[in-house]
Amino acid sequence: MNTTPTKATQRRILVVGNAADVVALATPLQGQGFSVQLCSDGPQALESALRYAPGLMLVDTGLVGVSPDRLSHILRSTPRLKDLPFLFIGKDGDRVDGFQRHRDLFLARPFNPEQLIHEISTSFARRERARQVGLQEKQIEGNLSQIALTDLLQIFALNRKSGMLSLARRSEQGALYLNDGMVVNARLGRVEGEKAVYRLLLWQEGKFWFFPGQPEVENRIAVQTDHLIMEGLRQNDEMAALAATFPPLDVQLTLKIPRERLPQGLRPITQEVLQKLEYFPGVAELLDQCSAPDYELLQILKTLIDKGVVEERRTEDVKAQQRQVLLTTTQIIAARERLGDHDTLMEQGTAKLLLLASNPEQLRRFVQALQGVHEFAPDAAFLSGVQELALGDLGLLTLSETFALRLFCLPAAPPMAPLWPVFLRRSFGIVLLAPNGALPEFEAFLATRPGDPFVYAGNDPSAANTLVLPRGDRSALRNL
């Protein structure tokens, strides 16, 4: 059976209740071209709705015979009416179980009849636009201010559409991938899956484009579209209601206690937050890097702050440090000229900052020392844990719009000696993280190359001839 509503069905409203202000709505609604049927109680409303399949139920929360939540549950359990929207009228503070924020409306008494009719007309018009979009078999585009994302997703689910829904808002780009009407993945920046969907549901404006076809993406979402929308809207609503209690997105956080004193048996998501906080102290960036939804992460951060495990860094200290450039333009130009970039100074370029260590912990501590340095982005593979001194990138340190340093681990084991000269090509410098004398073969190799700059660095203030790198200290990093 085709359950797609007809145009006539869409304009039919069932008004349920016997209160004078509700009954009085029938005449002005008819004046706006709606077909209106009055039902005084719940049982009558059930019978009429199942027979006539209205486009909207306008229900008084003081309904007798069948409660409003029971009425909505029964009707939506019917395949023909599973997407039926409700407009509830009641006292301020009334709660209707089963209220679906993406589909239903609630107006508190006393209400303005003109406002109510406007809300109904707007709802019908928005759903009709979404329905027309859903019927298209070719590429389509539109504006989210005219067709809400929730309406689009419901219509695509109803019509079992497959394809990519691309979204753009100012400089942001997002996408949702649908297979047979179900959202199977979503992307917004570096965020994927349900978390990206929840963020995109916050968009009230922007452009959209739908490209039909089979999406070639990894399926990362297995939730029915309706449940996905409802959960996303619920989390977004609660996040907005508690926003004043959460740390602001533009602040930086830091551990208040040593890692070795952290409580045992923490939940995996809490462990992930604490691990990534070492490298991404900014709240907004931390939310991007962690896998859980934003609402859950903000709750965790609030708990960690309340328990004294994490604290906000003073804004003045953060801003003062960020104003210090790591290298001046003159220094960057000099470095690039030394690398042979005389004719390409205005083009994008990178160089290697080679790191040599005697154990993985020295590498981890060096990267931890860059905590709070907003120009540094650790490599994703490094965040999963350093188990051995493997050849490869640890992260990127951006020094200007056109120049960045690749932090590169170069093993100092003798079997790697034939590769040392190769990797010293286009090297900005060498950082020895092991104590003086701990890497004898490589130190002997350096003695044959007086033109290669190197320095011993670490976090032990007692080590001789070693540059100490305290965590987040931009001045020490500039000295290096």
Q: In whole angstroms, give the CA distance from residue 253 to residue 367.
A: 17
The pLDDT of residue 125 is 84
**Sheet strand arrangement including 392-398:** 376-378, 392-398, 403-409, 349-356, 427-432, 454-458, 467-468
Is residue 367 a contact partner of residue 378, using CB atoms and an 8 Å limit? yes
CATH number belonging to domain 7-127: 3.40.50.2300
DSSP code per residue over 148-180 = -HHHHHHHHHHTT--EEEEEEETTEEEEEEEET
pLDDT tens for residues 196-225?
999 999 999 999 999 988 888 899 999 999
**Cis peptide upstream of residue 110 (ω within 30 degrees of 0):** yes
- 3-state DSSP helix/strand/coil percent for the chain, to nearest 5? 40, 20, 40
Tokens found for residue 469: 């790198």
Q: In whole angstroms, give the CA distance from residue 200 to residue 191.
A: 11
- Report, as an integer, the average pLDDT of 88-112: 88
Please classify residue 365 by burial: count the beta carbons closer than 10 Å to its beta carbon, then call 0-12 exposed, 13-18 middle and 19+ buried: middle
Q: Which residue is associated with the tokens 């790191």? A: 355
Closest CA relative to residue 131, chosen from 97, 154, 149: 154
Is residue 247 predicted with pLDDT exceeding 80?
yes
- Report, as an integer, the average pLDDT of 150-178: 92
Strands 403-409 and 349-356: parallel
Is residue 234 predicted with pLDDT exceeding 90?
yes
Q: In whole angstroms, give the CA distance from residue 176 to residue 161.
A: 12
pLDDT tens for residues 376-403?
888 877 776 655 667 888 889 999 888 9
pLDDT tens for residues 48-79?
999 989 999 999 999 888 889 999 999 998 88
Is residue 354 a contact partner of residue 423, using CB atoms and an 8 Å limit? yes
Q: Could you tell me the CA-to-CA distances from 179 to 18, 153, 159, 356 in Å, in that order?
A: 45, 12, 11, 48
Q: In whole angstroms, give the CA distance from residue 408 to residue 389.
A: 11
Torsion of CA 178, 182, 186, 192, to 10 degrees: -140
The pLDDT of residue 248 is 93
Q: Which residue is associated with the tokens 């370029």? A: 349
Q: In whole angstroms, give the CA distance from residue 244 to residue 52.
A: 46
What is the average pLDDT score of the chain?
87
Q: What are the φ/ψ torsions at residue 450 (nearest 5 degrees)?
A: -65, -15
Cα four-point dihedral sign 324, 327, 333, 334? positive
Is residue 144 a contact partner of residue 203, using CB atoms and an 8 Å limit? yes
Type of residue at 198: Y
Is residue 1 predicted with pLDDT exceeding 50?
no
Please classify residue 414 by burial: count the beta carbons closer than 10 Å to its beta carbon, then call 0-12 exposed, 13-18 middle and 19+ buried: exposed
DSSP code per residue over 413-480 = SGGGGGGHHHHTTTEEEEEE-SPTTSSHHHHHHHHT-TTS-EEEEES-TTSTT-EE--TT-HHHHHH-
How would residue 345 be classed by pLDDT, with cut points 50, 70 and 90?
confident
The pLDDT of residue 3 is 46
How would residue 133 be classed by pLDDT, with cut points 50, 70 and 90?
confident
Q: Which residue is associated with the tokens 């409700």? A: 86
Tokens found for residue 445: 């190799």
pLDDT tens for residues 263-309?
888 999 999 999 888 888 889 999 999 999 999 999 999 999 999 99
CA 340 to chain centre: 41
How would residue 344 be classed by pLDDT, with cut points 50, 70 and 90?
confident
Q: In whole angstroms, give the CA distance from residue 192 to residue 185.
A: 7
Name the DSSP letter for residue 295. H
**What does the radius of gyration of the chain's CA atoms come to, in whole angstroms?**
30
Is residue 46 predicted with pLDDT exceeding 80?
yes
Overall CATH class of domain 324-479 = alpha beta
